[in-house]
């Protein structure tokens, strides 16, 4: 979703801004633009890809300061005029903005009444006019004037022709980072846009503003009092953000992220397992054993696939710790005025750590005195910082919109949490050891599944031919089915609906036909027989079947394309059953010739409500 870059220093800004925008492409966008300030302000913006913007740039675009933006349409369609930066009528002020201005309609009316001509449909344009209209002497003062009139969320950056040495940025609910270089400074909404130039960064907090010049930055609040935000080195490998690259090879990033899962899971597990006592050590939880024992309920909140993994996590917590647990979409949570209980552990789960619905759910819980931990991938992200403690996933940067490696590390994170919660309760040391061994075996088992990828491509081709299909599973297998359907929908644009296998005959069976395949999750567990019976019901109605199962399962005379995965401990089977579904979705999309990494209408981080 929308991305911001900024540069001020000794180099030409335009190429650096374009390069930064290229690194934000994975977030999802529909138009892009830059404002470069040299002897005059030059603004170029285009609907379409960053490449379209590059083609529209004049040969002579010169200036050592500028801002750039990738837009994901909210107010008004994707068009050249709605793309950012937005300017005032004189073209003196240029603004890029992520987030949503809630009172934009009222502000637009006011500006129109004052005979200001608005040229776009956007909420952002009002900010440029408000900044231009301010009588304050400094750019900082002008922006504060504008922001006191604005309600909503923003990460924004402003350049002004009368203040050619600086970019002023402000944050309220939409991330912004400042990157510190040698006589040059960068600004971005995502670390990915900075890491090639610097890994020394400062995160702005909500309510903070920053003035950025070539020689440094200062941060302050809306009352212009200084804050103490400082830059620090982040421990990351910049090459992990490269698209393709030597190690990954060329091709869709999603594919390489699927293949990377054994390594990312190893990173999640590293240093956290205790073989001797059959438990996990999660220091970042900031909870001692007594506090862990006092937890009476676990409530998991996430969006999209993170919510589906949350459902798997709730299952793990109930099975291993025997603590009641459930998952709920974070996007719904705060709208029902949730009851926050002191002995409930709230868990926010997010790859990006930026998803606004999840962040707002965390803030609602904290406002009501609840304790929240985060299962988050991006270190230092808004959700990670808002939580009382948590588990970093260490999946490494995930670039493809369709999440794969982050989700499997989330699952492992939940397994570690459930194990630690279980071992301070009634989970025996023997059971703990059994699970530790099973967790350690996961990377090699995933390798095994991926090695047999060839067998899946033909099945994926058949699924790609169908326009509608079901994914079904029971209990542990149901969230697996949900995640499988989600992955397929996201990148193939085929209709895929997930159901509990047990619910088929209560309605959806009516839709089963030769044209509607079913992907069934049939683990070797206490429900195998019932699952196989349901397969017969589907087959009897001519429904083509793909069965993701274990080698030990006897499907009898059911005609099905069979995909076997190695058996883990029953509690951990879901993670291995998920892997072939990722590969099926990927190969189906590839068969259809679709842009796997940038599915239409979707954004990597959903930073608006």
Q: Which residue is nearest to ligand AGP (CB)?
A: 304
Find, among 406, 361, 404, 357, the residue nearest to 379 by Cα. Answer: 406
H or E stretch covering 141: helix 139-147
The answer to whether 285 touches 295, Cβ cutoff 8 Å, is no
Q: Tell me how far, at minimum, the Cβ of 413 lies from ligand AGP, in Å.
A: 12
Q: Tell me how far, at minimum, the Cβ of 313 lies from ligand AGP, in Å.
A: 13
Q: What is the dihedral of CA 485, 584, 260, 374, to 10 degrees?
A: 0
Q: Tell me how far, at minimum, the Cβ of 496 lies from ligand AGP, in Å.
A: 13
- Nearest CB to ligand AGP, comparing residues 170 and 330: 330
Q: For residues 459 and 234, what is the distance between their CA atoms, to the nearest angstrom?
A: 43
- Nearest CB to ligand AGP, comparing residues 45 and 394: 394
Q: Which DSSP string do the residues of 162-184 spell out, in sequence order?
A: T-TT-EEEEEEBS--EEEE-SS-
Catalytic one among 45, 46, 489, 604?
604
- Nearest CB to ligand AGP, comparing residues 53 and 254: 254
Q: Which DSSP string do the residues of 283-328 spell out, in sequence order?
A: GGG---HHHHHT--EEEEEE-THHHHHHHHHHHHHHHHH---EEEE
Q: Tell me how far, at minimum, the Cβ of 147 lies from ligand AGP, in Å.
A: 27
Q: Tell me how far, at minimum, the Cβ of 305 lies from ligand AGP, in Å.
A: 4
Secondary structure (3-state) at 105: helix
Secondary structure (3-state) at 579: helix
Q: Tell me how far, at minimum, the Cβ of 200 lies from ligand AGP, in Å.
A: 25
- Nearest CB to ligand AGP, comparing residues 6 and 304: 304
- Nearest CB to ligand AGP, comparing residues 157 and 606: 606
Contacts with 60 (C-beta within 8 Å, 6 or more apart), sequence order: none
Active site residue 59: no
The answer to whether 66 touches 34, Cβ cutoff 8 Å, is yes
- Nearest CB to ligand AGP, comparing residues 86 and 598: 598
Catalytic one among 2, 45, 405, 567?
2
Contacts with 454 (C-beta within 8 Å, 6 or more apart), sequence order: none
The answer to whether 197 touches 20, Cβ cutoff 8 Å, is no
Active site residue 2: yes
Tell me which residues touch ligand AGP (CB under 6 A). 303-306, 350-352, 355, 358, 401-403, 490, 605-606
Count of C-beta atoms within a 10 Å radius of residue 250: 8
Find, among 47, 62, 72, the residue nearest to 17 by Cα. Answer: 62
Tell me which residues are annotated as active site.
2, 604
């Amino acid at each position: 979703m929308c991305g911001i870059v900024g540069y001020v220093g000794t180099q030409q800004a335009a190429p650096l801004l374009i390069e930064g925008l290229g690194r934000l492409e994975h977030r999802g966008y529909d138009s892009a633009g830059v404002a470069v300030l040299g002897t005059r302000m030059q603004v170029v913006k285009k609907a379409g890809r960053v490449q379209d913007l590059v083609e529209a740039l004049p040969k002579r675009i010169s200036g050592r300061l500028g801002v750039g933006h990738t837009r994901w349409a909210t107010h008004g369609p994707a068009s050249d005029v709605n793309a950012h930066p937005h300017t005032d009528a004189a073209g003196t002020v240029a603004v890029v903005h992520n987030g949503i201005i809630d009172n934009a309609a009222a502000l637009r009316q006011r500006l129109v009444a004052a005979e200001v001509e608005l040229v776009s449909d956007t909420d952002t344009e009002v900010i440029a006019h408000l900044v231009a209209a301010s009588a304050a002497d400094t750019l900082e003062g002008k922006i504060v004037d504008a922001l006191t009139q604005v309600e909503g969320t923003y990460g924004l950056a402003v350049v002004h022709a009368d203040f050619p040495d600086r970019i002023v940025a402000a944050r309220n609910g939409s991330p912004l980072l400042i990157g510190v270089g040698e006589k040059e400074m960068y600004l971005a909404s995502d670390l990915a846009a900075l890491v090639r130039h610097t890994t020394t960064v400062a995160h702005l907090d909500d309510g903070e503003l920053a003035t950025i010049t070539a020689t440094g930055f200062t941060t302050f609040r809306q009352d212009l009092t200084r804050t103490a935000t400082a830059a620090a080195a982040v421990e990351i490998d910049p090459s992990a953000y490269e698209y393709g690259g030597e190690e990954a090879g060329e091709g869709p990033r999603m594919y390489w992220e699927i293949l990377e899962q054994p390594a990312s899971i190893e990173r999640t597990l590293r240093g956290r397992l205790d073989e001797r006592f059959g438990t996990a050590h999660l220091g970042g939880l900031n909870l001692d054993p007594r506090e862990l024992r006092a937890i009476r309920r676990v409530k998991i909140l996430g969006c999209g696939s993170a919510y589906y993994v949350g459902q798997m996590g709730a299952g793990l917590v109930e099975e291993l710790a025997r603590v009641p647990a459930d998952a709920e979409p974070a996007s719904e949570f705060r709208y029902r005025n949730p009851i926050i209980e002191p002995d409930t552990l709230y868990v926010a789960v997010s790859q990006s750590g930026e998803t606004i619905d999840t962040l707002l759910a965390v803030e609602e819980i904290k406002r009501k005195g609840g304790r929240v931990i985060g299962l988050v991938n991006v270190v230092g992200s808004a959700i990670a910082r808002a939580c009382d403690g948590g588990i970093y996933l260490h999946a490494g940067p995930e670039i493809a919109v369709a999440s794969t490696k982050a989700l499997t590390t989330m699952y492992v994170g939940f397994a570690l949490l459930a194990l630690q919660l279980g071992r301070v309760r009634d989970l025996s040391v023997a059971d703990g050891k059994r699970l530790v061994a099973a967790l350690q075996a996961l990377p090699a088992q995933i390798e095994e599944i991926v090695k047999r990828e060839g067998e899946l491509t033909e099945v994926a081709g058949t699924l790609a031919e169908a326009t509608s299909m079901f994914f079904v599973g029971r209990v542990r297998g149901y969230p697996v089915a949900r995640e499988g359907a989600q992955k397929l929908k996201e990148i193939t644009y085929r209709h895929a609906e997930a159901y509990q296998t047990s619910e088929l005959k209560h309605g959806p069976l009516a839709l089963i036909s030769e044209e509607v395949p079913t992907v069934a999750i049939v683990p070797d567990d206490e429900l195998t027989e019932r699952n196989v019976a349901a397969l017969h019901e589907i087959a009897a109605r001519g429904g083509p079947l793909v069965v993701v199962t274990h080698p030990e399962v006897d499907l009898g005379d059911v005609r099905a394309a069979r995909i076997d995965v190695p058996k883990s401990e029953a509690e951990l089977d879901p993670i291995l059953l998920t892997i072939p579904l990722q590969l099926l979705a990927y190969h189906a999309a590839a068969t259809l010739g679709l842009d796997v990494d940038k599915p239409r209408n979707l954004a990597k981080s959903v930073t608006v409500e």
